[in-house]
A and B are shown apart, each in its own frame.
Chain A
Amino acid sequence: MTFFLQLVVTGFALGMIYALVAIGFVIILKCSEAFNIAQGHFVLIGGYLGYTFLVTFGLPVWATLLLAILTAVVMGLLIERFALRPLVGQPVLAIIMVTIALATILGGLATLIWGAEYKAYHGLLPTITLKIGAISIPSESLIGLIVSAVTVAILMLFFRYTKIGLAMRATAEDLQVVQSVGIKATTVYAVSWVIACVVGVIGGILLGGVSGANMELAEVGLKAFAVVLLGGVNSIGGAIVAGIILGMLENVAAGYLDPLLPGGGLAKVFPFIVMIIVLIFRPYGLFGLVRIERI
């Protein structure tokens, strides 16, 4: 039982990070109807940025976060302006391919700059240890949980109370109405990409703190897709719930089934199995809108 609870708790913390990354995806999708395959590579860049600022430059944690967020903002603006904006109004495939291409370019840049090597910065993030009965919560996971929760809360407030946040929600509802009241759609798109980059990079630093930065961080993006599909592609709340569910399921399944399977590595395909099941039985996810199509 302790083993099970331990898996659930660790999975919960992991799931919170998945949720954070998935939110970035949902925001872009809601605002500009672009499916961002490169979300996982924002995480990858984030993980390596964490290494550069914390270890190479030896900066404190707050400065690292600040600089990483700044980098993410610049990255988001550049990506939106030069890759996505020329393709506004193009078919789904073009947008998806452009984000796939972005993913390869970001992967290539990460290889060029950091050499695709494993970079550990274990123990540099602040630690808080918490023990409930026999279950100990790993300190890095707890930090991940707290930072993710705070980021999600900030985003919620942003969408509720700021002008641009409201404009983004309105754009998600109806682009034409938004344009007719004088909101610039391009600004909204740019901000949505910036937010996606920022949450991706934060997620990357958190995951890097747990397991070190390497090229496999990009696979978190694939897990985020499973999260997004499970929660419903246009629901931020759904992404949070589904992220936590998936994190727990994955941890529990890997904990119990991996010893039984010869090759192991169930955690790697688990999100895809969830994905296929969701797509066959409930394609619009738990909280997604069922789309009605007309000719």
Chain B
Amino acid sequence: MGSHFGTFQESYAQDLAIFRTKLHWGVLFVFLVFLFTCPLFFSDRMLTIMTMIGITVISVHGLNILTGYCGQISIGHAGFMAVGGYTSAILCAKLGWPFWVALPCGALSAGIAGLIFGLPSLKIKGFYLIMATIAAQFIIIWTIIQLRSITGGPDGLSVPKPVIGSIVLSSKTNYFYLVMVVTCLATLLAKNIVRTRAGRAFIAIRDNDLAAEVMGISLWSYKLQAFFIGCVYAGVAGSLLIHYYSFASTDQFPFMDSVWYLGMLIVGGMGSTTGAIFGAVSLKLLDELVTMAGPVLSAAVAPQAAASLALISHGLIIIIFLIFEPRGLHHRWEMIKAYFRLWPFSHEE
């Protein structure tokens, strides 16, 4: 007697907490300990993969806020990453600014680029907006190539190794820690942004923009806010990517990446922070699998088989998820959790 059955929220603060139970906190603790001890028992190759996954997660969080929560579909996300990446690269390489100043400046510039290309979203939506963002991607990359004196054009731009305080982030392990810290902060921020007034306004706009406007939500302000936030995330991811390679090139931000980020959102589940992580992690791992299978396949079938396998598997995964699991991995994850929570009385609640 007197013991609780199930979980009870007895105050507003408890109800709103992201981590509500001791189990949640425990899992979080174990996960963080695991994440930050990875360099002890993982190889450099594995760390590289995880760093890339972290950068992708940041970028997909941005796209999730813009597309998953606010409903403004963007297929120019890699373009906005390029703006952020190049800005911080130029600040570091040409002006000698420290890395920790250049990174936020890059993020800010990507946000401003997002505001500019988000302007059409005030008049258009759906397919038209997709076209505008595709145009943004190509115009941004073209502009970067044209501004050869600043950006190095097609030759690219060498960037010095990032320095924070007196630590030079030259090793993979150092950079892994940096990316993971930023990723965790970005995830926490993303989770909380969508729980604010602005986040709820985004959801209202996504579900029915006319109705939202009638309720007094300023479409002008909130759509642009969504573009700004989404692109700031892209900018952070872009500059982390460029500083990782110590080299800036437009090849790091291809159009297909923009498409692929949207694919990650679909696979993970739109409008869910967890979904963004699921999508980014699972598809990046699939990419690695394809990269590993590539040489085998090339030897067995034809030299071009590896490249085509990547394209075909990407396309098939997106189609299969759209048809059979349109709500993404996140939904399936919730179903599994519900099953175990309710077991063996699956019809209760």
A193 to chain B, nearest CB (A): 15
**Residues of B close to A86: CB separation below 8 A:** 323
Known: A87-B322, A104-B312. 15 other contacts (CB 8 A): A87-B323, A97-B263, A100-B262, A101-B263, A101-B318, A101-B319, A101-B322, A104-B318, A108-B307, A116-B307, A279-B120, A279-B124, A279-B128, A279-B131, A280-B120
Which 7 interchain pairs have the tightest Cβ spacing? A108-B311, A105-B315, A108-B312, A112-B308, A272-B135, A104-B315, A101-B318
How many Å lie between the Cα of A86 and that of B319 in the bound state? 10
**Residues of A close to B171: CB separation below 8 A:** none
CB pair A109–B312 under 8 Å, yes or no, is: yes
- A115 within 8 Å of B by Cβ? yes
CB pair A261–B315 under 8 Å, yes or no, is: no
CB pair B139–A269 under 8 Å, yes or no, is: yes
CB pair A108–B148 under 8 Å, yes or no, is: no
B102 to chain A, nearest CB (A): 25
CB pair B148–A263 under 8 Å, yes or no, is: yes
- A179 within 8 Å of B by Cβ? no
Of A92, A105, A273, the contact of B139 (CB 8 Å cutoff): A273
Of B127, B138, B322, the contact of A233 (CB 8 Å cutoff): B127
Of B9-17, B26-34, B208-216, B276-284, the one touching chain A: B208-216
- Which of B142, B210, B304, B315: most chain A CB closer than 10 A? B315
Q: Could you tell me how many residues of chain A have their Cβ less than 8 Å away from some Cβ of chain B?
A: 44
**Residues of B close to A229: CB separation below 8 A:** 128, 131
How many Å lie between the Cα of A130 and that of B237 in the bound state? 55
Q: Sample 15 A-B pairs with CB under 8 A, ordered by A number.
A: A90-B322, A94-B322, A96-B127, A96-B130, A97-B263, A100-B75, A100-B263, A103-B315, A104-B312, A104-B314, A104-B315, A107-B311, A112-B304, A268-B138, A293-B210
Chain A, 257-277, CB within 8 A of any chain B CB: 261-263, 265, 268-269, 272-273, 275-276
B217 to chain A, nearest CB (A): 14
Of B139, B211, B309, B326, the contact of A108 (CB 8 Å cutoff): B309
Q: A residues within 8 Å of B by Cβ?
A: 35, 83, 86-87, 90, 92-94, 96-98, 100-105, 107-109, 111-112, 115-116, 222, 225, 229, 233, 261-263, 265, 268-269, 272-273, 275-276, 279-280, 283, 293-295
Of B119, B124, B305, B315, the contact of A101 (CB 8 Å cutoff): B315
CB pair A96–B73 under 8 Å, yes or no, is: yes
Q: Could you tell me how many residues of chain B have their Cβ less than 8 Å away from some Cβ of chain A?
A: 51
How many Å lie between the Cα of A263 and that of B308 in the bound state? 30
Residue of A nearest to B130 (CB): A96
Given contacts A101-B315, A265-B142, A293-B210, contact A111 B307 (CB under 8 A): yes
How many Å lie between the Cα of A109 and that of B322 in the bound state? 21
Of A35, A101, A295, the contact of B316 (CB 8 Å cutoff): A101
How many Å lie between the Cα of A179 and that of B314 in the bound state? 36
How many Å lie between the Cα of A202 and that of B211 in the bound state? 45
CB pair B312–A97 under 8 Å, yes or no, is: no
Given contacts A94-B326, A101-B319, contact A112 B312 (CB under 8 A): yes
CB pair B305–A276 under 8 Å, yes or no, is: no
